[in-house]
Structure 1
Amino acid sequence: MASVQHGPTAQGTATRDEQRVRAVIEDRDRAVADRDAERFVASYTPSVVVFDLAPPLRRPAAEVLDPGGKRAWMAGFEPGIAHDTSDLTVTVDGDVAVAHGLVSMTATPKGSARGFTVWFRATLVLRRSGDTWLVTHEHVSTPFHMDGSFRAAVDLVP
């Protein structure tokens, strides 16, 4: 998507839209840290398509929109989950935005003495609804080793 804009008004709109999209992504990161499943799933459109880290290949919208699933996932970790998006690039064109970046998640599984940090890639497509931007497509992934082992490369750090 390329957005051709001219003049201060058009540029100001693009900047505001980009800031709003970034705010949605930052709020999703905070929602994970706050263990607020309802706030996290509120960032999705009703017809959202999610390609998540965990199976299946495509997560059904009804499952994604149910805060119970996200709440159960969050409950699997001790308090203190960190979820941060970096290297974020946002492109806005009209009522559609594409954002991609790297996400780090640091957490300790419930009952475990040791925590972990994992980095993964995230791409979001958002649609404007009034003044609100909502995620209509989410794709997260980790690279895998191409040496025949097909192991996820969860040891990578930018």
Structure 2
Amino acid sequence: MGNHEEDAIRRQINAIAEAIGAKDLESLEQVYAADVVSYDIEPPLQHLGIEAKLKNWAHVFLVFERATYEVRDLSLVLGDDLALGYAFARLSGTLKNGTATNGMWVRVTYGFRKTDGAWLITHDHVSVPLDIQSGNGVVDLEP
């Protein structure tokens, strides 16, 4: 597995960021497998299929006037047709009401499968650390 495959996966992650900035659901759809299983930051515990995943992004587009998706420290582990990526990510921007928000850093894991020559996300998992005593998510940490 050479740098070519790693570069292709990194381009997919960059495509997510570009599509979010453009509020482009059609481009986002091209990054995910049709049967994607997403453990997204919003309830419920799992979102099954591309329509559910796109519904989450559509909700982001309703809330944000302008959105930026930033990924830091992306690490990849590649096999022949499966790959794992993990990173920190942040959604920030300007809300519809004009309020600027720095968002929050989350932990994200991407599972990729190579299908017809393209690396598609078949699973993603987004989380924040938990303060066990209070039961609340900790959303003010930075990488």
Pairwise same-fold verdict (TM > 0.5):
yes
Matched with 1:5 is none
Structure 1 alignment gaps of length 5 or more: 1-12
Q: Which runs of 4+ in 1 moved over 6 A?
A: none
Query: What TM-score do the two structures reach when normalised by structure 2?
Result: 0.91
Matched with 1:120 is 106
Is the alpha carbon distance of 1:86 and 1:75 closer, same or farther for their aligned partners in structure 2, counting shifts above 3 Å? same
SS at match of 1:108: strand
Largest Rg, 1 or 2: 1
Distance 2:73 2:129 in 1: 17
User: How many matched pairs?
Assistant: 143
Distance 1:39 1:97 in 2: 21
SS at match of 1:137: strand
Task: Give RMSD over aligned pairs.
Answer: 1.6
Distance 2:58 2:40 in 1: 16
Counterpart pick for 2:118 among 132, 136, 139: 132
Question: Given residue 73 of structure 1, which amino acid in structure 2 is its aligned partner?
Answer: V
Map 1:8-157 to 2 at 5 A: 13-61=1-49, 63-64=51-52, 67=54, 69-79=56-66, 81-146=67-132, 148-157=133-142
Residue identity (%): 27
Distance 1:112 1:17 in 2: 40
Distance 1:59 1:119 in 2: 21
Query: What TM-score do the two structures reach when normalised by structure 1?
Result: 0.83
**Larger % of strand: which?**
2
